Structure 1
């Protein structure tokens, strides 16, 4: 039994404390250590069953502290004047144990005392984890047990507005400050810290810090020259107006963080290498080279944090197959770009802001478990009081973390976070242009009926400016899809901006329903009219996914490559027009090509096939050679193989691939020109009923006739010119579309007067269909809705146009 020398317990009025840790089979918590005098006050059981009813078990199951007064412990007063607190150590997914504290009276713990004890429990959990003391045998409370409770610690309270600090004697002893020399101001204690650690401490005591928990490890130099590691855990408390007002904290000995000479040398080498890293890529490369070999790690990833997304800057190994499926699914550029929300454990570690170590067998989501099945370390990268990124280190074989390793990783995280921030400051223009370019590219490609599209984008590695390569996949009406790839002249933020404008313009013209040559001609006139000297090349492919027919327009760009099902690969001969932005009246001829199921069509930019050391002809032959030997069953792997050899790049690289499968069940279509007669709606309903009977649709006829009535009525009543009704039947839904000559989009009423004679049409359409909307068309618009069909055997004829 340890005496209560810790000022933490004295501050909180705790008479004694006990630590319980899991048993071998983790079905109960066994008493491992007692501090203070428990005789005659509270009967400490040797173990608590985790499935039983007790304060310890209830707190561990709930994952949060449980506070009980004497009345709550025993309403009949048999418990005597005693208050109890049960604080879980660790938690999901790894429970380290539970801290039980008992107070001398029965009035309970006030808010400050609870905050101090919760911080102390966090400190005890870190010590348990670092000492690998998760499983321990029960000990006799009458004999000394293992030192699980960090008794050498104390508390402090800081008023942010004035900088005044109330500390107990144990904190001053740890810092090496005599009580007579302490003037009660926080700056006096900050002077004790090693200069390199002062910025991290200042980030906690700054008045504008947001409220919440904070923790860090820091070093102090005692009067005799001794270097001591201390652990700080604190909580920032807000005032009534929500602004930070006070900091309550616990300071304890953290000698287990003291690094070995080898680790000190590694950190020194890392610091020296990061000092010369001027770009994000350089910082990431230094981290990987410094950590993977010394730690014998299987995988290392470095990622920046941009909003709620992780933007990976380097992976080692770079092979996509070495990483979990969730990472591969986000592999649209040189490295993945994933949402933090898909990795909740990682999101929690970033929110807490300290190094997290997960041993083998820890239940993690697949996106993390696959990185380190033998052990995983997550290093949030702090800088300037916030998290700027994360470093993941994973092992395939079983890896047990020692306390020295935590020290190394903690020191590494701080150095890397500062280096990332410094690199951003040195290359602010480049980083802004890179982020702009990445945000303008499609985050995900759409799922297509009858094929699969994948894309890869790699920025140039030579020089700091970014280019204007772009790609897009645009689903169109009637089973068509547009594939677009382009390249804006030059490397600058201006090129990236023009790229975004051209991608948006081409998408808008395509969705309006213009044919490919008109889409490209409109984009050309738009660029000519802009106040820029830049031009752009572009290749546009309109592919009918049902028929396998492609209409191709080329504006100064490389022709598409076509891999046939038998492996034959060649460039499609496409008559080309000039680049966009050169001549306002340029013509862009159409070229037709046919695709058989199993064919692979590839669009690419010149950065893949041409460089200072590679001629265009040799580059095209190399790409054709890769396509001939590739397996089209996995377009993503084919794209990876195409860009695998482009490690040093003079120009950006963009690749867009589509594997054409064809549609197994071809949609049925019918069209009706609506005459502007008094009984136009009746004729439209009759046409719809005849068509649905021919197609074998019976159960949904009434719903279809209702939406046809409403959409045709709106078009005839509120527009002028031609009105057309289109019906499309797929395996599971019926699409009803009405085209008219008015560009004005329909407006659904915000409120409804049910005594009115009109205004309910769109409300009825919305209520009766699974989806509805409006899209602009050349010279008008289309209002459409979809009706879900019940499972059935579809009968009837083939395609029909009237």
Structure 2
């Protein structure tokens, strides 16, 4: 089939974003040999009679039709005898050549009786009045091919006596226009779900490259006094993981000679059909090869940018195509402005949220601590969940996890007050009943001041004595922690909910009792907010059971691993915030080291050398060293490339495992929780980490994010 293919009775087949060929004006048909077939056909048994005796007017009309590059079909007489040219044979596809010379009802079968075929032609034949059908779908579906759309004109053919002899149908295919309009609708739908500039960029580049069969596409947005842009060229090797990665942004100055800058600054679209539009600003051979270029402005009250699309061949930008591109650019500009507002609001909310959480947790000789906080809802609001861990004056460790109901700035503000008050109270008298009683008075006072009795705060608070591992706990209406007991001597690990005496939420004037437990070496305690275990339409106990089972089945009790595992333990998504805090009693003291890596190309190689030297000094097995260096190199490359900031690599080794984390201070690409799955370096990193490590995860920090992985040195079947 030429163009988009054949014709059919169904609607347009839905697709992700369809790949559509661009047809030039006067595109030639494939050549079906209809002229030879018509002249060789035995017409003597048909109403037309032998071809040598055809009416001169009919013969002239047939010869004109056969010579035309436009799809044409002649249905002759009351039987609608079918004659057509090569271009229309391409429309019929596998119905050709059997349809030639037969009555239409026999040639097209059931399709002839459907609306839009036989009825229209019969009406024209009967009345003599021409009919134009704009963008109709011809109801024939040969070979199960994809349906096509046409604008069809039907007019009568008269013989030399002036009588109506047949109907001539001229078809102009509009499938490409229909598909591009469909793709524009798909673009609108996808942009509606794009939260960030990165999301918008991915959607737009995929749409433009597929819908217009481009060789070159660039999307740029203003970045201070300059612009940053993402480029896509034909033939780039992109896999599914690449598509999930934050796009690689480049910077360009405000050079008015650059078409994208000129469009962004002037607000006017330009179209070059053939030339060297990027000659003065080309950065590589791909840009120097571009001959045809359209530069479309992206302008809103708060955003300047441009979208450029190009070909390495001459291309006439037809009026319909220009209009479609301009419409697409308007949609992109509005989506980019929405995304920029979201990122600004999200950044403010996240900064507020994380500024109220501890940036660093205490470091103890034989106790390891980790925490994680994930924003619920759409990631665009501050929440009320919080955690904290700090050293007391006598050397003990205070640890707390709480939840203020709500997902707004007010909830975050109450959370900040409660956390600050808890520290002050604990540093004065760390006993759990005393601390909770003081917090209860605070929450009651806040509710009275605001004349709002709906302030609802729950807290679980404990004090750990590092000398013997005992923990004294009290709960104010909060879910009890999970305790993971390490298996020794080949035994499996177990987990259970800690038996903490229940108490009323804060602000209700309750009294609280304490419970106690002892963390043995290898054990881990996990505090969590209800967003970890609650799911709509499911009993709370199901979530609690899933969390306990996940803790028992964990490969290790490492606190970072436990935090990551907890956030994914219960199936389904939650609209609530998620906070977890884990403390492990280590089997032995760890050895650790940290390296700061500058945002420069030599960074990953320096990390590899540093890790190799340090891990061999620590006598880590060679197999673990090789895998760890490979994974760390990928994570470091990803941090430097996509966050665009220096990175910090931290390694921590004990008798059980090697833990490596790579932290950046960038915010790009870490806007929503789903972005946790995007860590990779050009699509390879994710698979490497999953394949080579025993566990891995991402932790958001006050600024930026941390990606970590763990490799066990002693397997469960080797323990003891």
TM bin (shorter chain): 0.3 to 0.5
Q: TM-score, normalised by structure 1?
A: 0.35
User: Which has the bigger relative contact order, CA under 8 A and spacing at least 6?
Assistant: 2
